[in-house]
Amino acid sequence: MIITSSKLETNALSFARFLYKKTLTKAKIFQFLFWLFSLFSIFFAFFSTLMGIFKLASPKLETLKAFADLFLYIDDKGNKVDQWPIFILWINLSISLVNALFALFLIKNRWLRNQEINDFLKLELIMYENRLGKYKNCKNLEMELFNAIFLKISPPKGLSNVYQSEKSQKNYE
């Protein structure tokens, strides 16, 4: 759907600048979260590996014995129960895996989408301000900018269905 005439509450240039700042901020936030979750994932995996090495080395090295005995407890019958595998290995590895999957599948897509929109808006604003490309001989610059932004941010479902059907027909030919 392309809008041909409408009265905007604000001009398209201020809307584009607002959207540019918003997507830039969101992209930076999602980028920070992606790297934070990725680094936590690496940290927990490294910590779990390090603790596993300490546990395996504790019978041979007396200096690590006290460290490895932190997770030993004595049950009602007087037996020593080793909680090390539960607390360190499985919990840290599961936290590491959850953080990695969360960063990869949830945060990364949002970061890249906001960065893509931000880069698009930067180029559109440069073309608009310098009257280049499609803005060179345009009669209504504001409406052209608004249409470009609208089509990039939320493409109409009807157009995407038409595009998919045309693409599938070309594949069959």
pLDDT per position as a tens digit, 88-139:
777 888 888 888 888 888 899 999 999 999 999 999 999 888 888 888 888 8
Query: pLDDT value at position 94?
Result: 84
Q: Report yes or no on 145 lying in a domain.
A: yes
Q: Report yes or no on 147 lying in a domain.
A: yes
Query: pLDDT value at position 170?
Result: 57
Q: Report yes or no on 5 lying in a domain.
A: no
Better-scored residue on pLDDT, 62 or 170: 62
Q: How many domains does the chain have?
A: 1
End-to-end CA distance of the chain: 29
Residue 151 structural domain: 12-172
pLDDT band at 164 (very low <50, low <70, confident <90, very high): low
Q: Report yes or no on 38 lying in a domain.
A: yes
- What mean pLDDT comes out for the span 75-80? 84
Q: Report yes or no on 92 lying in a domain.
A: yes
Buried/exposed 34-50: b ≥16 CB within 10 Å, e otherwise: beebbebbeebbeebee
Better-scored residue on pLDDT, 106 or 87: 106
> CB of 74 within 8 A of CB of 12?
no
Q: Report yes or no on 53 lying in a domain.
A: yes
In order of 23, 73, 85, the CA distances from 28 in angstroms are 8, 46, 38
Q: Report yes or no on 2 lying in a domain.
A: no
Buried/exposed 97-126: b ≥16 CB within 10 Å, e otherwise: eebbebbeeebbebbeebbebbebbeebbe
Query: pLDDT value at position 27?
Result: 94
